[in-house]
Structure 1
Amino acid sequence: MVEAFIRHIRNKSILDPSKTYLLASSGGMDSMCLGNLLTKAEIPFEIAHVNFQLRGEDSNQDEEFLRKWANSLGVPFHVHHADTYTFASERNISTQMAAREIRYDWFEKLRSERNLAGIIVAHHEDDQIETIVLNLLRGTGIEGIYGMSERRGWLIRPLLPFSRKEIQEFVLENKIEWREDSSNEKTDYKRNKLRHISLPALYSVADDAKSNLLNSFARLKDTGKAFTSLFENWKNEKIEESEGMQILSANDLLRTAGSSSLLYFWLRPYGFNSAQAQDILEACQFSESGKLFESSTHLLNIDRDQLILAPLPGEFDSISISENDIDFLLPEGKYELLKLENKVALDRNKQNAMLDLERLSFPLKIRTWQEGDRFIPLGMKNAKKISDFLIDLKVPVVKKRAVKVLISEGQIAWVIGHRIADWAKSTAATRKILYLKKQ
């Protein structure tokens, strides 16, 4: 196994003998095997151990066992004492999850402080299968079948090609001591149930069941990588970006094979889950225009034959503009406030506004529009609800929430970025203009 291990880390360039690493060790068979292999491969390392204080005196004996081992090797030994039950209770998470967070947070902190080249853990081939099957039981997508990688960031797993059986044989042959964690034999946890009951039953179906599972997972992982590449090409070709929005034709989506997966991979980075993606796809299939779907950060609107995605607008506190102000700032950008004589060309850019200064009363107010708001749009005689006005302009729902209005003495003078009110317009009789210009 030593030769195979050295060949593996060299071929994959996983470990560098000129650098020092942090070996995460519980004192169990797997990590003791790994420590022995690293020593024989002449890979320098320091040892890190977390005493979770979950098994009474056994936990303390694990720590002492590792301390003696580190001393025998002449390598630094680091230990962290964790109040795991309190940590789990304060965060309302399971003890297992708490132990995982404590472990990896401390490992990374220690690695950084010691300026070490990586954190080496003893996950092996059987752990990989267990992880993938657990992911499948949770309802994973294609990426859940990828399992654990040999290197991810600072985390390094050089034992992934080796089975539990190979590790056990190596440890016994070389008379390597280890500490047995009695909780590993219990079947209270899903992983232990898989390890001791479900997977052995599955492997008993055929002599090559385990190897066939690993081969299948490898092929599916490669298929997943191919899909990811195809998805990126599809996204670049089909999704347009405009004014902070992403726009996808519903017809393009529905005509594409694998539309459910494509939609989910598009929306996932914006906080949408697979169930929402399926609901959105069904809404497209039934042409449910106007439907809204919301994540913690984004809003998706089905608008006629388009899917429009945009960030949720942040909370906007109304602002006041005094007569002496020279500018103001909105989430959409900064605006200049210029006072001009009526001898300038009219700016027809909808992002800007030229208003009759003498018809306005300060302080002016800017706020988000509200249901029931009305104004008389430029060129019209009758008042119109802003909600209807925005519909007429075909402003996407994802943009409507962020629309703001400029108000003078309770009257809307400008629907910012869209239309000024007729009463506030500059005419031939206007003597002074308030020019609101977006920078």
Structure 2
Amino acid sequence: MTRVVVSGLGIVSPVGCDVDSFWRSLLAGSSAFAEASALPGRGLQVAEVRDADFMTGLAVSASMCDRNALFAVAAARQALVAAGLGEGFPRPERVGVILGNAAGGQCTVDEQYSRLHVLKKRPPPMTVPKVMVSSSASWVSMTTGAAGPSFVTSSACASANHAIGIAIQLLRAGAADIIIAGGTEAPLSAGTLMAWDSMKIMSRTACRPFAAGRNGLMLSEGAGVMVLETQEHAQKRGVRASIEAAGFGFSADAGDMVSPDAGGMERAMALCLADAGMEPSDLAYINAHGTGTRANDRTEVLALTHLFARKPLPPLSSIKAVTGHSLGAAGALEAVATILAMQRSMAPPTAQFDAVDPDCNIDCIPNVGRSMAIPAAMSNSFAFGGLNAALVFKSI
């Protein structure tokens, strides 16, 4: 089978707009939650990208595209530079772009409905291109020159894992040599936040994955991007990649729109391991979906317990206590964190862990990062609608 390797990483997040600052924040447990600027006075805390420097030098602007596309273009540029591809591609038609995006241009939607209903003005001509869910992939393609298979996957919180997984499959199939893959999201508009808050699953205090005191998730925004390519192509470029994108598994619960199902989660993880030719015991670390809601965390632990046939689970953690839940981008930020953990032999902690929940009797690396060798790791995303996707990475 054609091996697929990771040759570059890029990040735009509330806790760092480059890989190193993002990593330092994860290890320190330093979050950036503050009152949502779109809903002042409501007491609703979110994690926003407040450092505008990520836009420096971009070939696009906020007048041309939605915030989610700006994030994607910036993160893609970082990843391409890290991969030694910052000056372009010898064969652009063999380079694709596959990004996860759950909701599209939500900030643009809010802006234009306000313009229409409050100011009684028509939306400007670029509204439709800015709102389109696929626009982030289009902008990355246009700004980088990637002319191969390019599109967006939209499967709620599993969008980015689906995008990365499909990229792996297309590379294995020979449809491209390089694919810029990941996820992006900018959902922190007033309307979107009010809709999420109406579900009564958003915390007003802190995101505490797997902890006894957890009381909900906190939304965020950002983008994570990786450059994936066939190992043969990387070697021809003189790149010695250290991480293989080794497995992808996905499933549907076929059950409930909002209630998670352990069976569906377990099936996606088992398929992922089978795709990688690995057993559960081969995993040294798991980057969990870990949203901080009572039902999701408990169900993920149950699925893992079944997967490991009640044998001890490897250490796991959720970075959402620091990054927040960026919906369609979440899997990409977490995949990047997983790869960094492997490269730097350090597992990031589950921050804000205040007390053990008997229903989540696991080693969740509480509060302090752990120095450890990580030759193989899994990163999970489990979405509303019962859409599950897992990725496995291993050292080469």
Give the TM interval when normalised to the shorter protein. under 0.3
* Superposition TM-score, scaled by structure 2 size: 0.21
Q: Relative contact order: is structure 1 or structure 2 higher (C-alpha 8 Å, sep ≥ 6)?
A: 2
* Superposition TM-score, scaled by structure 1 size: 0.20
